[in-house]
Amino acid sequence: MTETQKSATLTLNGENYELPIFSPTAGPDVVDIRKLYAQAGVFTYDPGFTSTASCDSTITYIDGDKGELLHRGYPIDQLASKSHYLEVCYLLLYGELPTAAQLEDFETRVTRHTMVHEQMHNFFRGFRRDAHPMATLVGVVGAMSAFYHDSLDVTDPWQREVAAVRLIAKLPTIAAMAYKYSIGQPFVYPRNDLDYAANFLHMCFSVPAEEYHVNPILSRAMDRILTLHADHEQNASTSTVRLASSSGANPFACIAAGIACLWGPAHGGANQACLEMLKEIGTVDRIPEYIARAKDKNDPFRLMGFGHRVYKNTDPRATVLKQSADEVLELLGVDDNPLLQVAKELEQTALNDPYFIEKKLFPNVDFYSGIILEAMGFPTSMFTPIFALSRTVGWISQWKEMIADPQNKIGRPRQLYLGETMRDYIDIEQR
Ligand code: CMC
């Protein structure tokens, strides 16, 4: 982080305060207000962090105006077409693309950690069968801290490394177990001869009663979905992981916190909500009704899978996924999928509507991912768990970066207090 010669001057009650300015390698300059309260006795106010950088980071960069997403400098469309999920995991975690030997070693380490502690099978059985798989995921990932005592010490770099690999390796197993449990089928153990995405499909869709062959088209599409969701800088769930870990909490507890945050419909839960919305719309002729509802200030309805805090032009992940949806559905012989038709028409209608143009609302990553996942055979309740398992590497990379940062201190926002000032307690008989 380089402090520039530039500074901002804040004038308050006739006093001037010089605030240093930092220049990033990309993106807008950042005004450093860390000493503002000590010097001027005021806080800044920024609910939702619309103008506040909560950390410095070298992992992911988004240019929302250009619709650009870079991981360690590499554009997401290149990674989606030329790379694969575990290579992107390596890149996010360690900062550089791996050599062939480094990749082989990393893949071996991840593959050797895919099984979960056998006793976890019993733990699953405590959940109701009809539990949402995200509910199970939050609980089981948090409970990993009760099973893996040798990777809880966040001050030990080796334990941090083991926890990172364990989480990346075991999340697909846990997500698949949550799914199997919800449909009353036996858990399927991971297979080390399959790649990461194919193994996940195998654990979700195979049954002991017969052979299951993973369709390579589907495993490639699955891998691409995982790659596109791997990281997204300081979004709500990543910031949750960072905030949770700022207190020194163990990595499994922190990732469980991230999963909980991801679940909401404004964040990772939007993929499930979007597909449900497309089904509710059902036919192209009903689109105007839903567009009108989305524009109506008195109606809480929003177009799910539309809009983004940072992207104000296009979400590059949505562009890749739209193409992927076409390819996958064609290859599966369902290219006349009515949901895809509704989605495409809805997108076109919204993109030509002054409301969406003016507010710079574009399809986001969640708009097309659900169509692909459903075509693969996943129920909507599994969409957000799949997002969670792919984002785990992003959370872990940001967590590792934060813990290694000497500036790391407990996250503790201030507030603009608008409540009562001090008053005397009134006995109940007098109220
Ligand atoms: N449909 C209709 N209007 C919208 C939408 C939408 N999807 N998104 C934003 N707006 C309007 C909103 O009503 C507001 O209007 P006004 O200025 O008149 O009050 C304006 O656009 C700005 O919206 P905001 O809520 O202040 O913007 P934000 O940056 O706080 O929210 C968002 C971003 C993603 C939460 C929001 O666009 C949204 O709720 N989208 C639908 C849910 C969704 O698809 N979420 C997935 C996001 S991408 C993946 C992920 O993060 O996990």
Catalytic: 308?
A: yes
Pocket mutation for ligand 1, best pick of 364, 384, 391 (most atoms within 8 Å of C-beta): 364
**Integer Cα distance of 351 and 361 in angstroms:** 8
Ligand 1 binding pocket includes 359 (Cβ within 6 Å): yes
Length of the chain: 431
Question: How far is ligand 1, taken at its centre, from the CA of residue 270, in Å?
Answer: 11
Ligand 1 binding pocket includes 307 (Cβ within 6 Å): yes
Output helix, strand, coil percentages for the chain, rounded to the nearest 5: 55, 10, 40
Question: How far is ligand 1, taken at its centre, from the CA of residue 305, in Å?
Answer: 9
The identity of residue 346, as a single letter, is L
Give the residue among 364, 365, 361 at the shortest CA–CA distance from 351.
361
pTM: 0.94
Question: How far is ligand 1, taken at its centre, from the CA of residue 306, in Å?
Answer: 7
Catalytic: 366?
A: yes
Q: In what order do the strands lie in the sheet with 60-63?
A: 60-63, 68-71, 74-75
Pocket mutation for ligand 1, best pick of 62, 234, 359 (most atoms within 8 Å of C-beta): 359
Alpha helices in 183-315 (DSSP H): 196-205, 216-228, 236-245, 251-262, 270-281, 287-295
Ligand 1 binding pocket includes 172 (Cβ within 6 Å): no
**Model confidence over 272-308: pLDDT tens digits?**
999 999 999 999 999 999 999 999 999 999 999 999 9
| Strand-pair category, 68-71 with 74-75 | antiparallel
Structure-token pair, residue 302:
């929003």
Would you give per-residue pLDDT tens digits along the chain (431 residues)? 666 678 999 999 999 999 999 999 999 999 999 999 999 999 999 999 999 999 999 999 999 999 999 999 999 999 999 999 999 999 999 999 999 999 999 999 999 999 999 999 999 999 999 999 999 999 999 999 999 999 999 999 999 999 999 999 999 999 999 999 999 999 999 999 999 999 999 999 999 999 999 999 899 999 999 999 999 999 999 999 999 999 999 999 999 999 999 999 999 999 999 999 999 999 999 999 999 999 999 999 999 999 999 999 889 999 999 888 888 888 888 767 888 889 999 999 999 999 999 999 999 999 989 989 998 999 999 999 999 999 999 999 999 999 999 888 999 999 999 999 999 999 999 99
Question: How far is ligand 1, taken at its centre, from the CA of residue 116, in Å?
Answer: 38
Ligand 1 binding pocket includes 294 (Cβ within 6 Å): yes
